[in-house]
Copies of this chain bind each other. A is one copy, B any other.
Amino acid sequence: MDPRHAILFEPVQIGPKTLPNRFYQVPHASGFGAVKPRTHAAFRGIKAEGGWGGVCTDYAPVSPDADETWAVASDVWDDDDAKRLGLVADAIHVHGALAGIELYHGGSESLNGESRYARVAPSQVGGEWRWSSLPREMTRDDIDRIQRDFVAAARRARDVGFDIVYVYGAHGYLMTQMLSRTTNRRTDGYGGSLQNRARFQYETLEKVREAVGDDCAIAIRTAVAPGVELDGIDHEEMLELVRIVDPVVDLFDVNVGGWPEDSGTSRYYAEGHQLPWTSRVREATAKPIVGVGRFTNPDTMAAVIRSGNFDLIGAARPAIADPFLPTKIREGRLDEIRECTGANLCILRSETFRHVSCIQNATAGEEYRRGWHPEKYDAPADPSRAILVVGGGPAGMECALVLGRRGFDAVHIVEAEPELGGKLRWTRRLPTLGDWGRVIDHRVIALAKLPNVEVILGRRMTASEILDYGADTVVIATGSSWMGDGAQPYRYDRIVGAATALTPERVMAGERPPQGRVVVYDTDGYYVGAGMAELLRLEGYDVLLATSLPRVSPTSDASLEGDFLRQHLHDLGVEFATGVVVHEIADGEVRGETEFGDAWSAVCDGVVLVTQQQSDDALHRELVADPVALAASGVRQVLLIGDAAAPRLPSEAVFDGHRVARDIELDDSTAPRPWLREAPTV
């Protein structure tokens, strides 16, 4: 270990408990919660194994009127819930870490979809995300009841082994609604002055502390940036709140005001971007403080601790990307850290699909159900099997890396371009997407360390060269490219005149439309269309970003980027047209129709089409079309992975490469296989 990093491994006392070091996985959603208890336990347990001294759950609703179904949360409404969560605490304890639980009530932001109870809130003010529906104003009975619910949940959590009990006071939920002048318009003792608006939070903490404070550390999560989410709370008031609750709190977990900024993506926020705000909490308390900032650099972490601003290094995303980050720092294996890219695919997949995943760590969420460990691999039954991976993009790199770590004698990865990386090579050169390049960098370094993996660059293979290569198994990972004919998903209409337009690859290879006005037409809805628009705008083009979808880049909404992305492009002067379908490019304009079927057109000097990708799978087709030649050449297996099979989110390409490498002994490792599922028993 670098001695400068020793400070990160000091134990820290929080209330009655001692954290073994300063690495702390703050509460964050996973999609597992109380519904997939074993999946959840394994997902948290691996972080404790990797060296995180404190590991927390998802948010934990304390009662049915904070019901988060359909979302998934760590419900702690009754003893059965507690039993399920006990598995999580146990999995954390096995490795000597402390287990934390974040008790939660959503107030006017609760879903209550399954419970069907009215939401409750300090006052009858609608929630930000709950359209067409208003909460019930909390009565005095509600206040007492919800405080009892917090206490009962805290007792349950303590009884199944949790060491740290949170009262969740950030991100716009009930505690924040109570604090805010905007949402709290009460005229009783819980409204008006800050002291009154803080009363509910103080009393809840006090009661929870009274119930379990001898056994558990009492933590609060609180937000300290000015007015990001709730107009009615300013920064100085939040510091005053810290002073008010200080006597009943053992640990302050601090972040900035709201979701899009907290968990900000690398596109718009650098490592530690929250520090100017969060570091000021030290002015108000001498108690331990934990804060986040997508920290992956141990020098930065040590500097933050030495500054005295934080006592613990909080992490959600960096701990998903590398559960063994603390161990690697402790052992001085810094170049082995899988650094979080800040792409927020974890959040996108957790929000959209209720199953967390990671572009850097394919094993995230697979620890229980597929039995995958992020640092351990099964040795092959037959190490002598020679494997050729054709294509060095994310899927191919990951596949070769896992095959190499599994211990096959000879794994060759052959890439046509002079560098590894596939389409991420040009993606990282798009404005704001530089950190996505960490997916490449990590694997280039890791592959170079494996003596049994040979990386061959600048060689574009033909089918006959592959047949002659001497491999037993061939993995085709040749990626995908954007179609130049304007074929669009679902409709699959071609665009007349598409040949005059550019594709993203051609733009990134240096081609440009004539100076003037460019239409970027996007039917994909993620980062490429927006990236083209920004790139060309920064070069001085007038840019119209037109999309067939209802919003610009809707996929970015689930990664918490959408609002920032649209504002950012708007501020740069990019114009938008949504819900338009382009049929033709001719006579200096694009022509098509609106979502209502009306004619639509836009004058332009050039067009970039971001419509549909197609798999570059010609090599695979050629190989499998001739089984006789395959048999003759000794190739027993030809596999197709990543975007060459199906262009998808980059996390899924990495996952695909990883999965096939783990399963390569199977006859057909691309066919769906069962996994361990969790469901009610009958």
Point out residues on A near B: beta carbons under 8 Å: 34-38, 63-65, 69-70, 77-78, 80-81, 83-84, 86-87, 111, 113-119, 124-128, 130-137, 141, 145, 182-183, 185, 231, 349, 352-355, 357, 480, 487-492, 524-526, 549-551, 554-555, 566-567, 570-571, 595-597, 612-615, 645-649, 652, 655-656, 659, 668, 671-675, 677-682
Contacting residues, chain B, for A677 (C-beta < 8 A): 80
Q: How far is the CA of A355 from the CA of B357 in the complex (A)?
A: 26
Q: Provided the pairs A141-B668, A349-B113, A596-B567 are in contact, do residues A682 and B490 lie with their beta carbons within 8 angstroms?
A: no
Contact, CB under 8 Å: B136 / A645 = yes
State whether A672 and B64 are in contact (beta carbons under 8 Å apart), knowing that A118-B645, A550-B551, A656-B118 are contacts in the complex: yes
Secondary structure of the A contact surface, majority rule: loop
8 examples of A-B residue contacts, CB within 8 angstroms = A69-B355, A70-B352, A130-B489, A134-B612, A134-B647, A136-B615, A136-B645, A137-B615
Q: Is there contact, CB below 8 Å, between B69 and A116?
A: no
With A65-B672, A134-B613, A682-B83 as given contacts, are A126 and B646 in contact (CB-CB < 8 Å)? Answer: no
Looking across the interface, which residue of chain B has its beta carbon closest to that of A136?
Answer: B646
| Cα distance A679–B111 in the bound complex, in angstroms | 19
Q: Complex Cα distance A136/B35, Å?
A: 30
Question: Measured between alpha carbons, how far is A346 from B70 in the docked complex, in Å?
Answer: 15
Cross-chain contact B126 with A490 (CB below 8 angstroms):
yes
Cβ of A357: which chain B residues have Cβ within 8 Å of it? 116
Assembly CA distance A677 to B134 (angstroms): 26
Q: Which of A80, A135, A551, A677 has the most CB of B within 10 A?
A: A677
Instruction: Name A133's contact: one of B128, B354, B647, B675 (CB within 8 Å).
Output: B647
Residue of B nearest to A677 (CB): B80
Q: Does A125 lie within 8 Å of B69, measured CB to CB? A: no
Q: Identify the interface centre among A133, A145, A645: most chain B CB within 10 Å of its CB.
A: A133
Residues of B within 8 Å of A659, CB to CB, are 116
Q: How far is the CB of A200 from chain B (nearest CB, A)?
A: 18
Find A353's partner among B70, B526, B550, B672 (CB 8 Å cutoff).
B70
Complex contact B35–A354 (CB within 8 A): no
Neighbour of A355 across the interface among B114, B524, B680, CB < 8 A: B114
**A557 and chain B: residue at smallest CB distance:** B550
How far apart are A635's CB and chain B's nearest CB, in angstroms?
17
B118/A648 in contact, CB under 8 A: yes
Contact of B682 with A680 in the complex, beta carbons under 8 Å: no
Residues of B within 8 A of A649 (CB): 132-133
In the assembled complex, how far is the CB of residue A258 from the closest CB belonging to chain B, in whole angstroms? 12
Contact A682 B86, beta carbon cutoff 8 Å: yes
Q: Is the CB of A127 within 8 A of B490?
A: yes
Task: Pick the most buried of A34, A87, A128, A132: most chain B CB atoms within 10 A of its CB.
Answer: A132
Q: Which of chain B's residues have a CB closer than 8 A to the CB of A38?
A: 680
Q: How distant is the Cα of A555 from the Cα of B114 in the complex, in angstroms?
A: 18
Tell me if A119 and B646 are in contact (CB < 8 A).
Answer: yes
> Do A492 and B182 touch across chains, with their CB atoms under 8 A apart?
yes
Smallest Cβ-Cβ distance to A118: which chain B residue: B646
A114 close to B682 (CB less than 8 A): no
Q: Using Cβ atoms and an 8 Å threshold, which residues of chain B touch A681?
A: 80, 680-681
Interface contact A554-B354, CB-CB below 8 Å: no
Expressed in whole angstroms, the Cα–Cα distance for A124 and B655 within the complex equals 20
Q: A63 near B646 (CB under 8 angstroms)?
A: no
Closest B residue by C-beta to A556: B132
Question: Across the interface, which residues of B come within 8 angstroms of A182, CB to CB?
Answer: 491-492
Contacts of A353 in B (CB 8 A): 69-70, 111, 113-114
Q: Smallest CB–CB gap between A639 and chain B, Å?
A: 12
Q: Is the Cβ of B354 less than 8 Å from the Cβ of A183? A: no
For A87, the closest partner residue in chain B by CB is B682
Measured between alpha carbons, how far is A652 from B353 in the docked complex, in Å? Answer: 27
Cα(A671)–Cα(B132), bound, Å: 22
- Shortest distance in angstroms between A16's beta carbon and chain B's nearest beta carbon? 27
Q: Are A680 and B37 in contact, CB atoms less than 8 angstroms apart? A: yes
Question: 4 closest pairs, A vs B, by CB?
Answer: A126-B489, A113-B353, A118-B646, A136-B646
| Residue from the set A118, A185, A649 with the largest chain B CB neighbour count within 10 Å | A118
Extra inter-chain contacts (12) besides given A64-B674, A70-B352, A134-B615, CB under 8 Å: A64-B675, A70-B353, A114-B354, A125-B489, A131-B549, A132-B526, A133-B646, A145-B671, A182-B491, A182-B492, A550-B551, A681-B681
Alpha-carbon distance A141/B554, docked complex (angstroms) = 35
Q: Which residues of the other chain, B, contact A231 by a CB distance below 8 angstroms? A: 491
Chain B residue with Cβ nearest A128 = B490
Whether A113 pairs with B612 at a CB distance below 8 angstroms is: no
Residue of B nearest to A554 (CB): B131
Q: Give the complex CA separation of A668 and B145 in angstroms.
A: 11
Once the chains are docked, how many angstroms separate the CA of A65 from the CA of B656? 14
Q: A111-B353, A649-B133 are in contact. Are A596 and B571 (CB under 8 A)?
A: yes
Residues of B within 8 A of A656 (CB): 118
**In the complex, how many angstroms separate the beta carbon of A206 from the nearest chain B beta carbon?**
23
Residues of B within 8 A of A571 (CB): 596
Please give me the residue from chain B that is nearest to A596 by CB atom: B570
- Picked from B113, B491, B671, the residue with its CB within 8 Å of the CB of A352 is B113
Q: Judge whether B489 and A127 touch: CB under 8 Å.
A: yes
* A182 closest partner in B (C-beta): B492
**Neighbouring B residues of A136 by C-beta, 8 Å:** 615, 645-646
- Shortest beta-carbon distance, A290 to chain B, in Å? 29
